Chain A
Amino acid sequence: MAEGVRSVTGSRPQPVGRPIVRRRGRAWLALTLVLVGALAGLCLLYLEQTSRVVELGYELTALQHQRDSVALEAAALRYELARRQSLARIYELATREYGMVPLRRVEPLEVERSPVLPTPTPTEPPRAPWWQRANDALLGIGRAQAGDEP
């Protein structure tokens, strides 16, 4: 108490211990704000991710439905193809639209098989001189031969 009186009467009064409390308070506040901010950020991130995943989930479902409908469409086309390949339909088309007639006469022909020709003996292709081969290798030149595959 006496010290307090003295300080009032003397120089400008200085509050004992308050700056430390204020500093600590600000630090706590800052920490809290940071934590809250971080938590909010995490929450937003979580929400963003969740909504994105849900969105992707729906997108996936839609794609699955699309895939199913495409598969069904392919099945319908396969069916239509098979229906059009029906022999009864082909017969009707051939006779009515294209004027074809059923087979009435078959003449079997005897064909003599030609004699088997001897297999030609493979001949050694002419070999290029060494200097030409070296030159070709250096310049990357390839040379085709008559017997090579096309």
Chain B
Amino acid sequence: MNGLSARRLRVLLAAFVLFSGAVSYRVVSFAVLQGPVLAQRAEAFRYREDIVPAHRGDILDARGRVLATDIPADRVSAIVRQVEDPHRTAQLLAPLIGRSAEDIEAALTQPGREWVVLQRQLDPEVSAQIRALELPGIVLDPEPKRAYPMGDFASQVLGFVNWEYRGAYGLEAAYDSVVGGIPGQLVGERDLAGNVIALGQSSWNPPKDGATLVLTIDSAVQYIAESVLDRTIQEQRAAGGTIIVMDVRTGAILAMANRPSFDPNRFTAVSDPALFVNPSVSATYEPGSTFKVITMALGLDAGVVTPQTVVDGGAYRELPDGTRIYNALLQEFGPETMTEVLIHSSNVGAMEVVDRLGPERFYDGVERFGFGQPTGVDLPGEVEGIVNRPGTAGWSLTTFYTNAFGQGIAVTPLQLVTAVSAIANGGVLMRPYIVQEIRDGQRIQVTQPTPVRRVIREETARTLSEMLAEVMDSYSTRFRIPGYRIAAKTGTAEIPGPHGYERGEGATIASVIGYGPVENPRFCVLVKIDRPKGSPWGERAAGPAFAEVFRQLLLLYGIPPSQPVNSVTGEGGRP
């Protein structure tokens, strides 16, 4: 062996040693140093856990119409390193997924990102178009989408589900744990494509689908309420309004219409989140003269007045401190019976009743009727209203007297409907409810009507119903329901502002509350119009809507007239 060969051999040996060393280092590095981490990663890749979403239960109305359901949708994502041409991909996707091309390109070229979600809840048609493009690195995953087939129908009652597929407002939020179901879990050994290997180890915890809710809301009644409300708001150029229809015998809510509202299918387009809140339970207002029904009920029940009791109906009442509280339009009625106090909507007469009752009996009664506390309805965000009792900061002798005719006291529309329904059904306050049934597989949970307490005697309720029927007759020149005896009371409430009550156009809340037929009351209806500009008065702004709702309601439920009548005219035209 010559010197050249020996040198070559040494170089070869050195190269071999170097190569062996490198290989050994990598082996030690993979097997020992990074061993546990890599093993964990391999394990995680092989045994991937998939969350299997539960099917969200449907929401149906009392007639079985679908108000909320799941529909198929897709989520489009990008595996960043597999996207060959981000610019072209962005250009092609932009018109389909509703994002700008620049935005998509920026998402696709983010450094350090393995994948990005580009858009969610795509319609099947859009998914098909994206699939047809066959863009490298763009993948579509199915995901459920909540849909509300009737658009803004009862939207503030239903609420909606957010991007995490959890209920955000309304019944979707209140019953999220019931409707939402429990997601399942699939842990399994997978092949390269991510499919579960049949022979591999796997564990399967199936999802539990959500229950179906059946509401007390009757879509036909809700439609009547919403249509009439829309028309009235338009006619009166009002800011909004509420119509609630309740079954007085059970406390079941048949309709709860609010305006303005929103389309839960497009909740992201709503700029003011206050629209998501249900004003029937979450907003308070001063009920005005509709509250005289409660004042009169308490006075009659305590025996301090009877329908025939006569009081001096002057234009005002002067308090010991010199404050004068006037009737609306400074009207002077002269001697008037209690029935006339209601017909005239006399503030002075109502003050006379609370004067005879005294603060303690009056406020005990107001609280007994459920004011100043939540009704317990199965809707989220219910507020309790404001009732200032003697001794509290907000109380004074003036508020005591103004409370008699519904000013200086704040109630929710639902509280007022629940309280007046108690008078309609003979004196028992019922807990209002909106979910009639929960259908969970074979198990059906039916909500039973829940009496809360007796608030007035049955005889008092009957007497007051007769008085209110006379009040309704007195409105016949403005609105009427021929053939039926309905008990009702209008109200025109002023709106408190930071500097006292507002003045000028659109500064009132016009409302009518009533129930009927008086012989056997079935429904209690509240029509509340916010800031009407056509007429500020309850009788004119809300009265025709009240009559229209009642007429349609009585026809819909096939309740025959109790009084002789040649014809029942559908004055309002469309429902």
Binding site for B on A (CB under 8 A): 50, 53-54, 56-58, 60-61, 68-69, 72-73, 75-76, 78-83, 85-88, 91, 95, 102-108
Residues B71 and A79 in contact, CB atoms below 8 Å apart: yes
Residues B570 and A105 in contact, CB atoms below 8 Å apart: yes
| Cα distance A78–B66 in the bound complex, in angstroms | 8
Among B142, B220, B568, the residue within 8 A (CB) of A87 is B220
| Cα distance A53–B151 in the bound complex, in angstroms | 48
Residues A103 and B555 in contact, CB atoms below 8 Å apart: yes
Does B219 belong to the interface (CB within 8 Å)?
yes
Residues A108 and B483 in contact, CB atoms below 8 Å apart: yes
Binding site for A on B (CB under 8 A): 65-67, 69-72, 124, 142, 147, 149-151, 153, 195-199, 219-220, 223, 483, 555, 560-561, 565-570, 573-575
Measured between beta carbons, the chain B residues less than 8 angstroms from A60 are 198
Query: Chain B residue with minimal CB distance to A49?
Result: B199
In the complex, 23 of the A-B residue pairs with CB atoms within 8 angstroms, ordered by the A residue number, are A53-B199, A57-B196, A68-B142, A69-B142, A72-B71, A72-B72, A73-B72, A76-B72, A79-B69, A80-B149, A82-B65, A82-B67, A83-B149, A86-B149, A87-B153, A87-B219, A87-B223, A95-B574, A102-B573, A103-B570, A105-B568, A106-B567, A108-B565
Among B69, B197, B198, B570, the residue within 8 A (CB) of A102 is B570
Measured between beta carbons, the chain B residues less than 8 angstroms from A54 are 197-199
Q: How far is the CB of B158 from chain A (nearest CB, A)?
A: 13
Q: Is the interface of A mostly helix, strand, loop or mixed?
A: helix
Query: Chain A residue with minimal CB distance to B565?
Result: A108
Those 7 A-B pairs whose CB atoms lie nearest each other, nearest first: A57-B198, A72-B72, A82-B66, A82-B149, A83-B149, A106-B568, A87-B223
Measured between beta carbons, the chain B residues less than 8 angstroms from A82 are 65-67, 69, 149-150
Q: How far is the CB of B208 from chain A (nearest CB, A)?
A: 16
Residues B199 and A50 in contact, CB atoms below 8 Å apart: yes
| Cα distance A81–B65 in the bound complex, in angstroms | 10
Among B153, B199, B219, B566, the residue within 8 A (CB) of A57 is B199
Q: How many A-B pairs with Cβ below 8 Å?
A: 93
B150, B220, B573: residue with the most chain A Cβ atoms closer than 10 Å:
B150
| Cα distance A91–B142 in the bound complex, in angstroms | 35
| Cα distance A88–B561 in the bound complex, in angstroms | 28
| Cα distance A75–B55 in the bound complex, in angstroms | 11
Among B69, B196, B575, the residue within 8 A (CB) of A75 is B69
Measured between beta carbons, the chain A residues less than 8 angstroms from B71 are 72, 75-76, 79
Residues A108 and B560 in contact, CB atoms below 8 Å apart: yes
Measured between beta carbons, the chain A residues less than 8 angstroms from B67 are 82
16 more A-B residue pairs beyond the given contacts A81-B66, A102-B573, A106-B569, with a C-beta to C-beta distance below 8 A? A50-B199, A54-B198, A54-B199, A57-B198, A68-B142, A78-B66, A83-B150, A87-B223, A102-B575, A104-B569, A105-B567, A105-B570, A106-B568, A106-B570, A107-B567, A108-B568
| Cα distance A72–B483 in the bound complex, in angstroms | 50
Measured between beta carbons, the chain A residues less than 8 angstroms from B149 are 79-80, 82-83, 85-86
| Cα distance A105–B69 in the bound complex, in angstroms | 38
Measured between beta carbons, the chain A residues less than 8 angstroms from B65 are 82, 85
| Cα distance A82–B265 in the bound complex, in angstroms | 14
Measured between beta carbons, the chain A residues less than 8 angstroms from B569 are 104-106
Residues A61 and B195 in contact, CB atoms below 8 Å apart: yes
Q: How far is the CB of A93 from chain B (nearest CB, A)?
A: 13
Q: How far is the CB of B557 from chain A (nearest CB, A)?
A: 13
| Cα distance A85–B567 in the bound complex, in angstroms | 31
Among B151, B196, B223, B570, the residue within 8 A (CB) of A104 is B570
Measured between beta carbons, the chain B residues less than 8 angstroms from A72 are 71-72, 142
Query: Chain A residue with minimal CB distance to B124?
Result: A76
